[in-house]
């Protein structure tokens, strides 16, 4: 390179492109790519040529992460499956809703819906004329009755937050097909190492990859998975809304996938041990975990989920009101009071005042959430240590 020092500093020699395949995922920390010709640039933007131009559109590291999730979700699906990466789970959820709704449209969603999704429907999309009906996700007939001529989307959660209600995915998929509308599911609480909704007729699967996919509470991201045709529509909305995953975060999320089955197996088995122990405590009114034989969805979870992996969240409702739930959280010594879930550390949240604070008392009651309910995200600690901490906290109530 000739020229002045500033030109030489700005235009160093190109980095080598190795022939060997790297074992670690390369991080393309660049916002833009250069082209040999102006026509090549135009052809790529017009979709006539494959490649990369701008990281808000696509980035190789982010694409690699998304396609790795698609490979897990679509492992047993006979048709092609692809995915789109996002900056967060809510960015992915918002893009899916914006893809499949319109002004005057209608959405049918579960009563046990995640608070952030509830807020999106009732405080954002409602301003654009989108309405929602919240129904029992375990009752396909009831959901069928909630569908209207203007309904554009059926929304579900593989495992509801925090009641751990299991969606009847095949039954709901049949309802959506009959109505001629897409069926999208938030499968964050399951992960593809527990249940793969596409195998049961779901059209689009969404994850907050911040949780189990990342697995270490050190990265934020989201992903949507489905057919190439549907994901192309979602991609265009993602580009326009701008909820773009960074390549550094994509690297961490991709790395998390390598240990996802190992972690989920331990998470889930420990969670079942915790749920079993808590169900016997005299100050506990209710324990929500579908792995318990007495849970209303136990037969369904055995049918749909991988053996022994029935979710890693346990929701316990102690005797009393909101104050009892807060007191239970405060009495814990090992388990952390912290937001989010799916990491190595066990965490608790008082549901009514944190994850579902957007819901009023009536909406909480309709969703089956008690005022004292505490959600436990079971981490990778020893089960006996977690049980001991939870029991001593309950004993203080």
Longest distance between any two alpha carbons in the chain, whole Å: 80
pLDDT tens track for 232-258: 999 999 999 999 999 999 999 999 999
DSSP label at 165?
A: P
- Are 180 and 119 found together in one domain? yes
**Of 238, 258, 278, the domain-final residue:** 258
- Return contacts of 133-136, CB within 8 angstroms, 24+ apart: 133/106, 133/107, 133/108, 133/109, 134/109, 134/110, 134/363, 134/366, 134/367, 135/108, 135/109, 135/110, 135/111, 136/110, 136/111
Residue 134 confidence (pLDDT) above 90: yes
Residue 275 confidence (pLDDT) above 80: yes
Asked whether the beta carbons of 356 and 381 are under 8 A apart, the reply is no
pLDDT tens track for 57-105: 999 999 999 999 999 999 999 999 999 999 999 999 999 999 999 999 9
So what's the pLDDT on residue 1?
62
Domain count, the chain: 2
**Domain enclosing residue 363, as ranges:** 260-395
Q: Which CA distances in Å does 167 have to 60, 72, 173?
A: 34, 20, 10
pLDDT tens track for 284-333: 999 999 999 999 999 999 999 999 999 999 999 999 999 999 999 999 99
pLDDT tens track for 328-384: 999 999 999 999 999 999 999 999 998 788 777 788 888 788 899 999 999 999 999
Asked whether the beta carbons of 86 and 201 are under 8 A apart, the reply is no
pLDDT tens track for 36-62: 999 999 999 998 999 999 999 999 999
What CATH number is attached to the domain comprising 383? 3.90.1150.10
The answer to whether residue 139 is domain-embedded is yes
Output the average pLDDT for the chain.
Answer: 95
**Of 236, 258, 280, the domain-final residue:** 258
The answer to whether residue 50 is domain-embedded is no
pLDDT confidence band for 137 (50 / 70 / 90): confident
- Are 162 and 244 found together in one domain? yes
The answer to whether residue 160 is domain-embedded is yes
Catalytic positions: 56, 114, 186, 211
Structure tokens at 56: 């808000």
- Are 118 and 146 found together in one domain? yes
So what's the pLDDT on residue 3?
87
Spatial distance between the Cα atoms of 26 and 61, rounded to a whole number of angstroms:
7
**Of 258, 285, 304, the domain-final residue:** 258
Sequence-ordered alpha helix ranges (H) in 11-78: 38-45, 60-73
So what's the pLDDT on residue 330?
97
3-class secondary structure for 197-215?
HHHHCCCEEEEECCCCCCC
- Are 279 and 379 found together in one domain? yes
Structure tokens at 26: 């390369």
pLDDT tens track for 166-176: 999 999 999 99
pLDDT confidence band for 221 (50 / 70 / 90): very high
The answer to whether residue 29 is domain-embedded is no
Structure tokens at 47: 């979709």
The answer to whether residue 149 is domain-embedded is yes
Share of the chain above pLDDT 90, in %: 88
The answer to whether residue 20 is domain-embedded is no
So what's the pLDDT on residue 249?
98
- Are 99 and 236 found together in one domain? yes
Spatial distance between the Cα atoms of 245 and 261, rounded to a whole number of angstroms:
23
So what's the pLDDT on residue 365?
83
Burial class from Cβ neighbours inside 10 Å (0-12, 13-18, 19+) for residue 180 reads exposed
- Are 86 and 217 found together in one domain? yes
pLDDT confidence band for 140 (50 / 70 / 90): confident
Burial class from Cβ neighbours inside 10 Å (0-12, 13-18, 19+) for residue 251 reads buried
- Are 264 and 383 found together in one domain? yes
- Are 245 and 346 found together in one domain? no
- Are 218 and 79 found together in one domain? yes
Share of the chain above pLDDT 70, in %: 100
Give the pTM.
0.94
- Are 384 and 275 found together in one domain? yes
The answer to whether residue 154 is domain-embedded is yes
What CATH number is attached to the domain comprising 231? 3.40.640.10
- Are 119 and 222 found together in one domain? yes
Least confident of 13-17, 125-129, 137-141, 170-174: 137-141
Least confident of 110-119, 209-218, 223-232: 110-119
Q: How far apart are the first and last CA of the chain?
A: 74
- Are 252 and 298 found together in one domain? no
The answer to whether residue 66 is domain-embedded is yes
């Amino acid at each position: 390179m000739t020229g002045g020092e500033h030109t030489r500093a700005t235009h160093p020699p190109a980095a080598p492109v190795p022939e060997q395949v790297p074992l670690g995922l390369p991080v393309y920390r660049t916002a833009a790519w250069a082209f040999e010709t102006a026509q090549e640039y135009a052809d790529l933007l017009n979709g006539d040529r494959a490649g990369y131009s701008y990281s808000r559109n696509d980035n190789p590291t982010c694409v690699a992460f998304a396609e790795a999730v698609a490979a897990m979700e679509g492992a047993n699906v006979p048709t092609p499956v692809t995915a789109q990466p996002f900056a967060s789970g809510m960015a992915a959820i918002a893009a899916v809703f914006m893809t499949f709704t319109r002004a005057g449209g209608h959405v049918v969603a579960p009563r046990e819906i995640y608070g952030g999704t509830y807020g999106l429907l009732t405080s954002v999309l409602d301003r654009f004329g989108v309405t929602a009906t919240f129904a029992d996700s375990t009752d396909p007939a009831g959901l069928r009755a909630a569908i209207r001529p203007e309904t554009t989307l059926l929304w579900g959660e593989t495992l509801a937050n925090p009641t751990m209600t299991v969606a009847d995915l095949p039954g709901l998929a049949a309802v959506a097909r009959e109505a001629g509308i897409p069926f999208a599911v938030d499968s964050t609480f399951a992960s593809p190492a527990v249940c793969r909704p596409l195998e049961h007729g779901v059209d689009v699967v969404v994850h907050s990859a911040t949780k189990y996919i990342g697995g270490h509470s050190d990265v934020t991201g989201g992903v949507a998975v489905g057919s190439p045709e549907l994901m192309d529509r979602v991609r265009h909305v993602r580009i326009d809304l701008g909820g773009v995953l960074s390549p550094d975060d994509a690297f961490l999320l991709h790395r998390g996938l390598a240990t996802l089955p190992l972690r989920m197996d331990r998470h889930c088995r420990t969670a079942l041990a915790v749920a079993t122990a808590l169900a016997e405590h005299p100050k506990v009114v209710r324990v929500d975990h579908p792995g318990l034989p007495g849970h209303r969805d136990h037969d369904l979870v055995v049918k749909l989920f991988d053996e022994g992996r029935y979710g890693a969240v346990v929701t316990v409702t102690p005797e009393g009101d909101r104050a009892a739930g807060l007191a239970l959280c405060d009495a814990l010594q090992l388990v952390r009071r912290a937001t989010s879930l799916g990491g190595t550390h066990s965490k608790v949240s008082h549901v009514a005042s944190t994850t579902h604070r957007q819901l009023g008392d009536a909406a909480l009651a309709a969703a089956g959430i008690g005022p004292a309910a505490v959600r436990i995200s079971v981490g990778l600690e020893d089960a006996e240590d977690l049980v001991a901490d939870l029991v001593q906290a309950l004993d203080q109530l």
